[in-house]
Structure 1
Amino acid sequence: MLPDDLGPDRRWSTWHSVEKGARGPDPVPSWLVTADAAIDTELGVLKTGKEADVFLLRRAVPDDPAAPRTWPDAASSCLLAAKRYRAREHRAFHRDSVYTEDRRVRRTRDQRALDRKSSWGRLVAQSQWASAEFAALGELWSAGVPVPYPVQVDGTEVLMEFVGTPDGDRDDAPTAAPRLAQTRPGRELLEHYWAQVEDAMTTLAGLGYAHGDLSPYNVLADGDRLVVIDVPQIVDLAANPFSTDLLHRDCRTMAGWFTARGLAVDPDELLARLLAAAW
């Protein structure tokens, strides 16, 4: 039997300890471990960012044949990315108001704390970004946008699908998918990637959103499949007064990267198509 105190870098799975709305949407993928007997083991840092750091976790059921499972065919091991938001004063990114212009929190006490920038308000702000990203991922994943599956949110931490190769040369060496900016695709793959970018942005616009910070650094290249990440700042095209400018910036940034690699695409034409899809 394992002790209650698992030591550093290990914890019991919190899947069933968070409220129902803090768990990912149905259908829950078959690869996800949901057993109460599972343990999350931290394996290291995947990425450091402007507002959060991402860590690699392995969630696994101990090698105990008597360990209970949520259902008989439940997976016994999976990899997760844990995105943990930092307090605002420890971020390199401080333009929150551009993205949160249309957002309010549920409780008036929390909103007052945010407005006053109290210590509680700073904690609420951290949780607000985590909750916003989790909610956005859930809606986008359910709509078919290529984003990581959002596993759960707990305070300032969002657990999501690990995108990459589960095992490298050794069983303990997973390989994260590179950012699009790190790749050098040939012409055929470049065209395939651009079609995926257009499809993802069009689906987002059809839902009434812009990514708001889309760039080759916020898209992962998982083989021939692109996966959009970093969506806490997702922008409501109808409610946010900066939405068209942010959408146009997304178009210019993505089109500029593809054009620089030999695929001439027009950001203004893309913007027109996206606005047509939105309205």
Structure 2
Amino acid sequence: MRDSAESFDPAYGRVRRAGRKRRPYFDDEATSAKRERYRPRLATEDAGDATDGLPEGDRWSTWDQSTPTERGPRPHPEWLVTELAAVDTELGILKTGKEADVYLLRRGVPGGRSCLLAAKRYRGAEHRLFHRDAGYLEGRRTRESRVNRAAANRSAFGRQAIAGQWANAEFGALCQLYGAGLPVPYPVQITGTEVLLEFIGDPDGTGAPRLAETRPDGAELAALWDQLVAALAGLAGLGYAHGDLSPYNLLVHGGRLVMIDLPQVVDVVSHPNGRGFLARDARNVAAWFAARGLPGADPERLARLLAGEARLA
């Protein structure tokens, strides 16, 4: 049984703090596998004095703009640059989608060490948000009736509130899953509706391919399947389903499988269709492995395993 005092509740979202003006964005299922790099797009009209003294396209590190609860689990990884003198330089776009964009950043101290980060930005109220969000948002209500009404009506304020809920839902889920040892990117920090994550890829900025872009066979295919089953079983053991799992939100780097895109993580115990989300995740990924000739990639068997791990059997 999960310890509710320790676990993250994706059914509760938080509205972005008033007065913090930052461009909100979101990351959704990929529409294309972008490989274009080094297109600076960091500076915005909202940056104001934050970029004083820096080249266009750069900003000072936002590390000090996040509270301790808005930063990733401790101990912070050794590779992470937390110095306040660091500068964020945007190198290009990693992924685009109907509701989101993800950018590649280099955070580094001038003349010193640096690290690569993925900036996942939830879009603002002027954009159409989460065309498939109704099922995921069921039960994800705040304690403020005004916010609940606005979200239900999809007003501009309501869409902004939903963006805040999804950003905080993903960051909170990643913190818990990373702390539990599941294969997800390290969640660096959240500021407003921008989530900074560990970049999964090579030091030269080449992102890890999605599972759908790979052609594994034999032992490699079997190893990836074993990693996937273990990851999904661990997720279900915590009481969650990914909610939108597919070969497009699984990365493969150095033979390691990494789950990404978790804003819609579903609490399968409290959600009325929790078992259905587990079964859909199992079906989507098992079908991909089965199509590549892997014996034992049975979606029904995987769904039963996950339901058992979630104590829904």
Task: Compute the TM-score of the two structures, normalised by the length of structure 2.
Answer: 0.79
In the other structure, the counterpart of 1:221 is 252
Q: Identical aligned pairs, as a percentage?
A: 57
Match of 1:277 in 2: 309
C-alpha RMSD of matched pairs (Å): 1.8
Does the CA contact (< 8 Å) of 2:184 and 2:259 recur in 1? yes
Q: What is the aligned partner in structure 2 of residue 237 from structure 1?
A: 268
Q: Deviation of residue 163 (structure 1)?
A: 0.1
Q: Give the distance between the partners of 1:139 and 1:165, measured in 2 at CA.
A: 25
How many Å apart are 1:243 and its aligned residue?
Answer: 1.6
Please list every run of 5 or more consecutive structure 2 residues that lacks an aligned counterpart in the other structure: 1-49
CA distance in 1, matches of 2:55, 2:160: 26
Provide the C-alpha distance between the structure 1 equivalents of 2:147 and 2:129, rounded to a whole number of angstroms.
Answer: 24
The question of 1:12 aligning with 2:60 is answered yes
* In the alignment, structure 1 residue 205 sits paired with structure 2 residue 236: yes
Shift of 1:258: 0.3
Paired with 1:92 and 1:117, the residues of 2 have a C-alpha distance of 9
Q: Mark the CA change 1:62 to 1:91 in structure 2 (over 3 Å): closer, same or farther.
A: same
Show the counterpart of 1:85.
122
Tell me what 1:60 maps to: 108
Matched, 1:166 2:194: no
Contact residue 81 and residue 160 of structure 1 kept, 8 A: yes
Using CA pairs under 8 Å that are at least 6 residues apart, name the structure with larger relative contact order, 1 or 2. Answer: 2
> Higher mean Cα deviation, 48-57 or 225-234?
48-57
Report the 3-state secondary structure (helix = DSSP H, G, I; strand = E; otherwise coil) of the residue aligned with 1:78.
strand
How many Å apart are 1:113 and its aligned residue? 3.0
In structure 1, the partner of 2:194 is 157
> In 2, are the aligned partners of 1:51 and 1:88 still within 8 Å (CA)?
no
Q: Tell me the matched-pair count.
A: 261
> SS state of the match for residue 54, structure 1?
strand
Letter paired with 1:23 = R
Residue of structure 1 in register with 2:288 after alignment: 257
- What is the distance in 1 between the residues matched to 2:272 and 2:98? 24
Contact 1:88/1:94 (<8 A) preserved:
no
Match of 1:113 in 2: 150
TM norm structure 1: 0.89
2:126 & 2:132 partners in 1: Cα distance? 12
Contact 2:237 2:310 in 1 (8 A): yes
Higher mean Cα deviation, 83-92 or 246-255?
83-92
Query: Of 158, 166, 169, which aligns to 1:129?
Result: 166
Q: Which amino acid aligns with 1:155?
A: G
Q: Could you list the runs of 5+ residues in structure 1 that have no partner in the other structure?
A: 65-75, 168-173
**In the alignment, what sits opposite 1:266?**
298
